Chains A and B, each alone.
Chain A
């Protein structure tokens, strides 16, 4: 033990120091959001806001175009909730079908699903836009959330893998008790796949919360903007360049991401380690 000590400390100094270096930009952003807007770049090297101010948060929260930042957060939450409903319902049904039911063409459709995993969104982006525009769905959440009700290959795959680890004897026992296929799904499988559903929910939250391309394509009136779009607008309205307000609102959009991560860390890490979710 006495011999190990120096190496032990060296390891933690190295690995810990590197972690701080990596996170420095985020810490800097956080600290800067409490500096007076004019000071941010003058005292960029200092990590202590002096004077400390909350003015950036107040100004940022006022938003732009007469819409407060609260509106953008509310819009994003509505978007997230629809996506969650869509993915959780559709992916669990589809995954159960692939993992447990025998039907002609199962292998074929499963392969199709895996291939769509690798399909660049750009290939379907333009016709999808045209279809949704013909349907009169532009400037609404529909083009973004309706497809979510038809499954997402990543999550279907994740859930299929998870269901395969559940012993089939449970299904058989339920069959003997007179349950039909849907009842087995609902009463036996669904409660057992809650951890994988949690992973699905968390990643759906992250991807939706961060999504920029979708909202930029489909939403065009400021009262419908999501937080990503709002930040992007702040940036393009840069003539006034209120960096402080932009930094403050950047932090506001990051807080939910961090909070959810720290609460559900286990599901996030497992989800990535087993399936490689998230680029």
Chain B
């Protein structure tokens, strides 16, 4: 056996599991889902080809779908920037040479650590519940209690607020980025008489832009797929009045509650398309705002 053949063989032996898994759990399901998206498929009977009907129905006859899209867009476009801004602010606060910073870093990360769990969603619902501590605090200040989960817009903002609360992982990435900016840059700027804002916009932000790009993309994708908090907080309904019916939740309901597998598959493909377009836009615009150091270190 020639050494080239042998090295190819070893290579495919090692990455073989990935290829098999990719074919079995990604490509085949993706093709199947594409096919289902053009069918009426109720799981119990064979898929019936209906062309683009699912896609047309989505945008013309299903106000709940349009609503879930709207709710998700608000969730993503309000939640992600706020969360990242918050993460960056805290990272800058923690980017000082104090020994206590390690502790603060840990404490600030804790909400993100437990953020995906059912326990936290339950807690959140109770804290903002009709007789929860937030309303209690408002009452003590003489403000009428607010039905945080009783009104669609308020409930959605509660979800957004929960996502902002979990800013920890972005903060850690920003912190690592901040640490890699040479102190000499700031010193030179100080000598030139730059103020805090000039330093922030001329040094910090450009130097962090690659990290920022990474954060924006990953956070946007994962925000678009948010499921658990909406599922738990609304007890699976997406209520009140579909106010927290995030895209993933509606897709899940169409697929596994109403058994419209074809329709849910079409929804999944539109989701993939939206995520791909969003990512594409972020990448394309990135050349105007992401700064890469051309001449390494």
Contacts and interface: CB of A to CB of B under 8 A. Distances in A.
B125 to A, nearest CB: 8
A273 B271 contact: no
Contacts of A14: 93
Interface stretch (B54-62, B198-206, B221-229): B221-229
A271 to B, nearest CB: 9
A29 B119 contact: yes
Interface residues of A, dominant DSSP: helix
A122 interface: yes
B11 A103 contact: yes
A64 interface: no
Interface stretch (B24-32, B151-159, B187-195, B285-293): B24-32
A240 interface: no
A80 interface: no
A146 B113 CA distance: 26
Interface residues of A, number: 87
B63 interface: no
Interface string A122-152: 1111111111000000000000000101110
A212 B24 contact: no
DSSP majority for the B interface? helix
A255 B155 CA distance: 28
A28 interface: yes
A251 to B, nearest CB: 7
A166 interface: no
Interface centre among A44, A98, A106 (most CB of B within 10 A): A44
A213 to B, nearest CB: 6
Given A122-B225, A124-B33, A96 B25 contact: no
Contact of B219 (A210, A243, A258, A279): A279
Contacts of A93: 14-15, 17
A101 B119 contact: no
A209 B120 CA distance: 13
Interface string A78-97: 00000000000010011011
B109 A130 contact: no
Given A41-B132, A120-B271, A276-B169, A254 B117 contact: yes
Contact of A23 (B110, B132, B175): B110
Interface stretch (A50-58, A193-201, A228-236): A228-236
Contact of A41 (B28, B33, B131, B165): B131
A126 B109 contact: no
Given A124-B30, A125-B268, A128-B29, A94 B17 contact: yes
Contacts of B33: 123-124, 126-127
A235 B14 contact: no
Contacts, number: 250
Contacts of A207: 116
A250 B124 CA distance: 12
Among A44, A122, A257: residue with most chain B CB under 10 A = A122
Contact of B222 (A103, A269, A279): A279
Interface string B204-234: 0000000000110111011111011001100
B59 to A, nearest CB: 18
A228 B232 CA distance: 10
Contact of A235 (B172, B218, B232, B271): B232
Contact of B29 (A131, A253, A257): A131
A243 B126 contact: yes
B33 to A, nearest CB: 5
A22 B107 contact: yes
B196 interface: no
Nearest to A213: B227
A124 B129 CA distance: 36
A116 B24 CA distance: 13
Interface string A19-36: 100110110110000000
A126 B119 contact: no
Most A CB within 10 A of own CB, among B32, B172, B223, B224: B172
A97 B119 contact: no
A26 B110 contact: yes
A156 to B, nearest CB: 7
A251 B122 CA distance: 11
Contact of B112 (A125, A217, A278): A278
A148 B54 CA distance: 32
A11 B228 CA distance: 36
Given A19-B104, A93-B17, A120-B272, 12 more contacts: A11-B96, A26-B114, A28-B127, A101-B10, A106-B11, A128-B25, A235-B122, A247-B123, A258-B114, A261-B113, A273-B173, A277-B169
Top 8 closest A-B pairs, CB basis? A150-B21, A103-B11, A97-B14, A250-B119, A279-B222, A127-B29, A127-B32, A273-B176
11 contacts: A14-B93, A45-B140, A97-B10, A102-B11, A122-B251, A122-B268, A126-B261, A126-B265, A235-B232, A249-B119, A273-B173
